[in-house]
Chain A
Amino acid sequence: MIEKLKKYQFLFEELVKRDFKTKYKRTILGMVWSVLSPLLTLLVMRLVFTNFFGATIEHYTTYLFCGNLVFSYFSEATNQGMTSLISNAGIFTKVNVPKYLFLFSKNVQTLINFGLTLLAFFVFCVLDNITFTWKFICLLYPMFCLLLFNIGVGLILSGLYVFFRDIEYLWSVFTMLLMYISAVFYSIDTYSPMIQNVFLLNPIYLFIRYFRKITIEATIPTVWFHLLMLADVVVVLALGCWMYKKNNTKFLYYV
Chain B
Amino acid sequence: MIVYVGLILILALYGVKFCGNGTFAGYLSPKSSNAIKGIFILLIFVSHFSYYVETFTAPLDLAYVQLRAMLGQGVVVYFLFSSGYGVMLSAATKGEEYMKGFPRKRILATLLAYDLAQVLFLLMELGRGRSFSLSHIILTFLSWETFGDGIDNWYIFIILSLYLISWLALRGRKADKPAAAVVTAASFAMIAVLACVKPRHWFNTLLCYSLGMWYYLYQEKIDEYMKHNAHYWKTAVVLGLLFVFFHKFWYLRPVYLTTMLLFALGVVVITMKVQVNNRFLIYCGKHIQGLFLLHRIPMTILGDLEFMRGQPHLWFISSVVLTFALEYLFNKSLAYMRGAPLTNGDKSRIFCAEAAGTEQAEEEQPESATPQQDDSIEMPIQAEAETSISAKAADVSPAPAVEPGENTVLTVHDVSIRYLLGDFKDIGLKEYVMRQVKGDYHITEFWADHHISFSLERGDMLGIIGTNGAGKSTLLKAISGIMEPTGGYVERKGNISALLELASGFDGDLTVRENAYLRGAMLGYTRKFMDEKYPEIIEFAELQDFQDRPFKQLSSGMMSRLAFAVASLVHPDILILDEVLSVGDGAFRKKSEDKMREIMGGGTTTILVSHSVEQVREMCNKVLWIEKGNQIGFGDAETLCGLYQQFLNGEISLHEARRILGTEGEMDRPEDRFVTKTVSDRSVWVARLKRYAYLPLCFLALLGTAGAFHMMYGLPFYSSITVPLMIGWSLLFTSIAAILPGIAKKIYLGLLGGVFAVLPIVHEVYTNMFRKFFSFADMAFAGDGFAFLDSSYLVFNRPVLLLSMLFLAAMVGCILLTRKFKLSKTVLWAGAVGVLAGAVLIAGVCLKSFRGDGRVVWDMNEDPTTIYKSFTDRKASLSLLGLYHYTFRDIQLALFPSGEALSSDELAEIDAYAATRGHEDNELTGALAGKNLILVQLEAIDTWMLEDYMPALKAVKEQSIVFANHYTPAYITAGTFNTEFMVNTGLMPAATGTSTGVYVQNAYPSSLAHLFADRGYTANSFHGSEANVYNRGAVHEVWGYKYHSGNDMGLENFTMDSQLTTAYKDMTPSSPFFTFIITYSGHGPYGDTNPTYLAHADAAWAQAKRTDGNYVYAVAHAMETDQFVADLMRRLEADGLLENTAVVFYADHYNYYMMNDALQMDIKGVDSMNLLQHTDFFVYSKDLEPRTVEKYTSSLDVLPTLANLFDLDADYAHLAGDDAFSSGGGYVIFNDNTWLGTDRDVSAEIMRRRRINTLLLKGNYWREKH
| Residue in B closest to A97 when the chains form the complex, CB atoms | B522
User: In the complex, which residues of chain B have a beta carbon less than 8 angstroms from the beta carbon of A223?
Assistant: 252
User: In the complex, which residues of chain A have a beta carbon less than 8 angstroms from the beta carbon of B1143?
Assistant: none
Evaluate contact between A253 and B429: CB separation under 8 angstroms.
no
User: In the complex, which residues of chain B have a beta carbon less than 8 angstroms from the beta carbon of A194?
Assistant: 719-720
A164 within 8 A of B: yes
Complex-state Cα separation, A13 to B531, whole angstroms: 14
B1209 within 8 A of A: no
Question: In the complex, what's the smallest C-beta–C-beta distance from A72 to chain B, in angstroms?
Answer: 25
Evaluate contact between B424 and A164: CB separation under 8 angstroms.
yes
Evaluate contact between B420 and A253: CB separation under 8 angstroms.
yes
Evaluate contact between A253 and B425: CB separation under 8 angstroms.
yes
User: In the complex, which residues of chain B have a beta carbon less than 8 angstroms from the beta carbon of A11?
Assistant: 518, 521-522, 524
Question: In the complex, what's the smallest C-beta–C-beta distance from A116 to chain B, in angstroms?
Answer: 22
Evaluate contact between A254 and B425: CB separation under 8 angstroms.
yes
> Known contacts A163-B425, A253-B419; can you find 14 more A-B pairs with CB under 8 A?
A7-B524, A11-B518, A13-B527, A18-B514, A18-B518, A91-B505, A94-B482, A95-B482, A95-B523, A96-B481, A96-B482, A96-B496, A193-B720, A249-B483
* Chain A residues at the B interface, C-beta cutoff of 8 Å: 7, 10-11, 13-15, 17-18, 21-22, 25, 90-97, 163-164, 166, 192-194, 197, 223, 227, 249, 252-254
Evaluate contact between B424 and A163: CB separation under 8 angstroms.
yes
Complex-state Cα separation, A15 to B252, whole angstroms: 44
User: With A90-B504, A197-B720, A252-B482 in contact, do A18 and B425 touch (Cβ < 8 Å)?
Assistant: no
Complex-state Cα separation, A14 to B520, whole angstroms: 10
Evaluate contact between A10 and B525: CB separation under 8 angstroms.
yes
Evaluate contact between A14 and B517: CB separation under 8 angstroms.
yes
Instruction: Tell me the residues in window 324-339 of chain B with beta carbons closer than 8 Å to chain A beta carbons.
Output: none
Evaluate contact between A94 and B505: CB separation under 8 angstroms.
yes
Complex-state Cα separation, A163 to B510, whole angstroms: 29
User: With A10-B527, A194-B720, A254-B425 in contact, do A95 and B514 touch (Cβ < 8 Å)?
Assistant: no
B480 within 8 A of A: yes
Chain A interface helix/strand/loop/mixed = helix
User: In the complex, which residues of chain B have a beta carbon less than 8 angstroms from the beta carbon of A227?
Assistant: 254
Instruction: Tell me the residues in window 785-820 of chain B with beta carbons closer than 8 Å to chain A beta carbons.
Output: none
Evaluate contact between B522 and A22: CB separation under 8 angstroms.
no
**What 4 pairs across the A-B complex have the smallest Cβ distances?**
A11-B521, A249-B484, A14-B521, A194-B719
B1090 within 8 A of A: no
User: In the complex, which residues of chain A have a beta carbon less than 8 angstroms from the beta carbon of B229?
Assistant: none
B507 within 8 A of A: yes
Instruction: Tell me the residues in window 248-262 of chain B with beta carbons closer than 8 Å to chain A beta carbons.
Output: 252, 254
User: With A94-B501, A227-B254, A253-B420 in contact, do A18 and B507 touch (Cβ < 8 Å)?
Assistant: yes
User: In the complex, which residues of chain A have a beta carbon less than 8 angstroms from the beta carbon of B527?
Assistant: 10, 13
B361 within 8 A of A: no
Evaluate contact between A252 and B526: CB separation under 8 angstroms.
no
Interface residue tally for chain B (C-beta within 8 Å): 36
* Chain B residues at the A interface, C-beta cutoff of 8 Å: 252, 254, 419-420, 424-425, 429, 477, 480-484, 496, 498, 500-501, 504-505, 507, 509-510, 514, 517-518, 520-527, 530, 719-720
Complex-state Cα separation, A21 to B483, whole angstroms: 30
User: With A18-B514, A95-B522, A97-B522 in contact, do A252 and B483 touch (Cβ < 8 Å)?
Assistant: yes
Complex-state Cα separation, A144 to B527, whole angstroms: 29
| Residue in A closest to B484 when the chains form the complex, CB atoms | A249
Question: In the complex, what's the smallest C-beta–C-beta distance from B608 to chain A, in angstroms?
Answer: 16
Evaluate contact between B505 and A18: CB separation under 8 angstroms.
no
Question: In the complex, what's the smallest C-beta–C-beta distance from B880 to chain A, in angstroms?
Answer: 14
Complex-state Cα separation, A237 to B514, whole angstroms: 32
Complex-state Cα separation, A19 to B39, whole angstroms: 59
Complex-state Cα separation, A97 to B518, whole angstroms: 12
Q: List 16 A-B contacts (CB under 8 A).
A: A11-B518, A11-B524, A13-B521, A91-B505, A92-B482, A93-B482, A94-B482, A96-B481, A96-B496, A96-B498, A164-B424, A164-B429, A192-B719, A194-B719, A249-B484, A252-B483
Evaluate contact between B482 and A18: CB separation under 8 angstroms.
no
Q: Which of B477, B505, B522 has the most CB of A within 10 A?
A: B522
| Residue in A closest to B430 when the chains form the complex, CB atoms | A166
User: In the complex, which residues of chain B have a beta carbon less than 8 angstroms from the beta carbon of A193?
Assistant: 720
Complex-state Cα separation, A197 to B845, whole angstroms: 12
Complex-state Cα separation, A45 to B1102, whole angstroms: 85
Complex-state Cα separation, A163 to B254, whole angstroms: 39
User: In the complex, which residues of chain A have a beta carbon less than 8 angstroms from the beta carbon of B420?
Assistant: 253
Evaluate contact between B510 and A21: CB separation under 8 angstroms.
yes
User: With A22-B507, A253-B420 in contact, do A94 and B500 touch (Cβ < 8 Å)?
Assistant: yes
Evaluate contact between A94 and B483: CB separation under 8 angstroms.
no
Question: In the complex, what's the smallest C-beta–C-beta distance from B482 to chain A, in angstroms?
Answer: 5
Question: In the complex, what's the smallest C-beta–C-beta distance from A93 to chain B, in angstroms?
Answer: 6
Query: Which of these, B425, B429, B498, B720, contacts A166 with CB under 8 Å?
Result: B429
Evaluate contact between B525 and A22: CB separation under 8 angstroms.
no
| Residue in A closest to B480 when the chains form the complex, CB atoms | A96
Question: In the complex, what's the smallest C-beta–C-beta distance from A69 to chain B, in angstroms?
Answer: 29
Query: Which of these, B429, B484, B518, B720, contacts A14 with CB under 8 Å?
Result: B518
User: In the complex, which residues of chain B have a beta carbon less than 8 angstroms from the beta carbon of A14?
Assistant: 514, 517-518, 521
User: With A11-B522, A254-B425 in contact, do A95 and B505 touch (Cβ < 8 Å)?
Assistant: yes
Complex-state Cα separation, A14 to B521, whole angstroms: 7
Complex-state Cα separation, A94 to B507, whole angstroms: 14
User: In the complex, which residues of chain B have a beta carbon less than 8 angstroms from the beta carbon of A13?
Assistant: 521, 527
